[in-house]
């Protein structure tokens, strides 16, 4: 019987220049799996490739087989294997690693959900390529179960840990219901666009303005919003509930005076201004206007850092859950090792069980003992083979029974 192995590189062990050379596109993976499985002799194989990790999960009869698989993989990528960058786990530690990856506890941003989808895709590719079987398919199912338990029984994904999403969470706290909020995105910076996209999914009405109107028009089409002329900013600012400023300007785009006039015209209904620009594009004094909530990138980073600390605390609870799931999987794997003994034992005593209830009870207890102590399975099986011969000779049964019990 073989073991589970996990090996490869990730953001903890190797720099990006190594990871990017090993990275695999989806279409590359199926032929690569077949080539490595055939060339190395591993029983089952899966490759997970993301921007942060390139890892092999395998079921094999020896560690040497895994080393061959890694050499073949590196050879395909025209690289020389280096223990300097490689990690290597086997047995329950390999299972724990796989579960930790699937549940995002091993991610660069703990609790982010993208890795679970990537994990599913990697196993789907391996399954279609025919390189997984009973063991890795079960590992995959239990990894997803472990991931679900971590998400439902801990708070690892409860708090925002990206600047863009932190802005959205703050907006929720200020306005509560956001489905009717009007959002203005000033500029076309990546973080601002991402925040606007999150708000769009919550039902907000999105407006985009940019110094280059054509850019605003293209972005409005991508976000499903409306483009506005930049030179008319002061005219429509009063109608906005949330303003996200994300430009490359070197001066203030929103001044204290612009915001003060807009608030007067809107009757001092709350306005949330998020300045994600560096340098800042909103005059700090604008935050002193009544009912204006102004946050810059440093404010948001403080929220993110606080939330990350909370997630890391929850991750410790998640690790306890994972080890619980690992122990269950390892018990299943151990019981798989004794499956041939169980099947042969049942076959050998099938007729005897029907004729003699004492033997039926004896078999039940023997099977239970095998499952509790898999290493005793060969001994128990041999005892049955040697001693249970005369079904009518009750004198042999207690002797067998006690030997099996204490084997």
- Secondary-structure percent of the chain, ordered helix, strand, coil, rounded to 5: 60, 15, 25
Alpha helical stretches, state H, 29-185: 29-40, 63-76, 91-102, 114-129, 134-153, 163-175
Q: What are the extents of the domains in the chain?
A: 3-153, 163-304, 338-406
Give the pLDDT of the chain (407 residues) as one tens digit per residue. 789 999 999 999 999 889 999 999 999 999 999 999 999 999 999 999 998 899 999 999 999 999 999 999 999 999 887 788 999 999 999 999 999 999 999 988 788 778 999 999 999 999 999 999 999 999 999 999 999 999 999 988 776 667 777 888 888 888 888 888 999 999 877 777 888 888 888 889 999 999 999 989 988 888 889 999 999 999 999 999 999 998 888 889 999 999 999 999 999 999 999 998 888 899 999 999 999 999 988 888 888 888 788 888 899 999 999 999 999 999 888 877 766 655 665 565 665 555 556 556 666 666 666 666 666 666 666 655 555 554 444 444 444 444 444 44
Q: Residue 388: which of 361, 359, 355, 367 has the closest Cα?
A: 359
pLDDT, position 155: 86
> Within the chain, what is the greatest distance between any pair of CA atoms?
104
The strand pair at 292-296 and 271-275 is best described as: parallel
Residue 297: per-residue pLDDT: 83
Structure confidence at residue 363 (pLDDT): 65
Q: What local confidence, expressed as pLDDT, does residue 349 receive?
A: 60
Fold topology of 163-304: Rossmann fold (3.40.50)
Q: What is the pLDDT of residue 161?
A: 67
pTM for the whole structure: 0.66
Residues 56, 6 contacting (CB under 8 angstroms) = yes
Query: Does 46 participate in catalysis according to the annotation?
Result: no
Interhelix angle 339-355/377-387, rounded to 10 degrees, is: 30
Look at residue 160 in the predicted model and tell me its pLDDT. 60
CA angle, residues 32, 139, 48, in degrees to nearest 5: 35
199 CB neighbour count, 10 Å cutoff: 25
pLDDT tens track for 48-68: 999 889 999 999 999 999 999
Tell me, what's the pLDDT at 407?
42
CATH for the stretch 3-153:
3.30.460.30
Q: Which of 24, 46, 51, 204 is catalytic?
A: 51
pLDDT at 124: 97
């Amino acid at each position: 019987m073989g073991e589970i192995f996990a090996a490869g590189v990730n953001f903890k062990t190797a720099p990006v220049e190594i990871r990017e050379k090993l990275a695999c596109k989806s279409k590359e993976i199926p032929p690569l799996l077949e080539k490595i499985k055939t060339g190395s002799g591993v029983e089952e194989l899966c490759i997970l490739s993301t921007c942060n990790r390139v890892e092999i999960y395998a079921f094999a009869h020896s560690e040497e087989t895994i080393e061959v698989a890694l050499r073949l993989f590196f050879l395909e990528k025209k690289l020389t294997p280096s223990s300097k960058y490689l990690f290597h786990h086997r047995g329950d530690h390999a299972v724990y690693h796989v579960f930790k990856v699937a549940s995002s506890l091993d991610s660069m941003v703990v609790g982010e959900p993208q890795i679970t989808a990537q994990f599913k895709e990697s196993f789907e590719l391996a399954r279609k390529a025919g390189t997984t079987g009973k063991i890795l398919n079960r590992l995959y199912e239990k990894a997803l179960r472990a991931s679900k338990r971590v998400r439902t029984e801990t708070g690892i994904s409860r708090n925002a840990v990206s600047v863009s999403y932190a802005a959205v969470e703050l907006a929720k706290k200020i306005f509560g219901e956001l489905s009717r909020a009007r959002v203005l995105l000033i500029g076309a910076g990546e973080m601002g666009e991402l925040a606007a996209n999150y708000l769009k999914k919550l039902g907000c009405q999105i407006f985009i303005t940019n110094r280059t109107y054509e850019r605003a028009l293209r972005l409005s089409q991508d976000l499903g919003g409306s483009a506005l002329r930049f030179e008319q900013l002061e005219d429509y600012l009063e109608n906005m509930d949330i303003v996200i400023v994300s430009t490359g300007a070197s001066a203030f785009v929103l001044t204290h005076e612009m915001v003060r006039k807009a608030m007067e015209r809107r009757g001092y209904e709350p306005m949330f201004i998020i300045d994600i620009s560096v340098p800042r594009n909103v005059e700090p004094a604008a935050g002193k206007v009544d009912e204006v909530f102004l946050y810059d990138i440093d404010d948001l980073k403080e929220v993110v850092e606080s939330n990350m600390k909370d997630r890391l605390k929850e991750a410790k609870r998640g690790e306890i859950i994972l080890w619980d799931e690992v122990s269950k999987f390892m018990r299943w794997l151990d019981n798989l090792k004794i499956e041939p003994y169980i099947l042969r034992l049942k076959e050998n005593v099938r007729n005897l069980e029907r004729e003699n209830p004492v033997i039926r009870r004896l078999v039940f207890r023997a099977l239970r003992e095998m499952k509790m102590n898999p290493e005793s399975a060969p001994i128990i099986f041999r005892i049955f083979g040697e001693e249970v011969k005369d079904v009518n000779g009750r004198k042999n049964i207690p002797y067998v029974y006690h030997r099996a019990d204490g084997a």
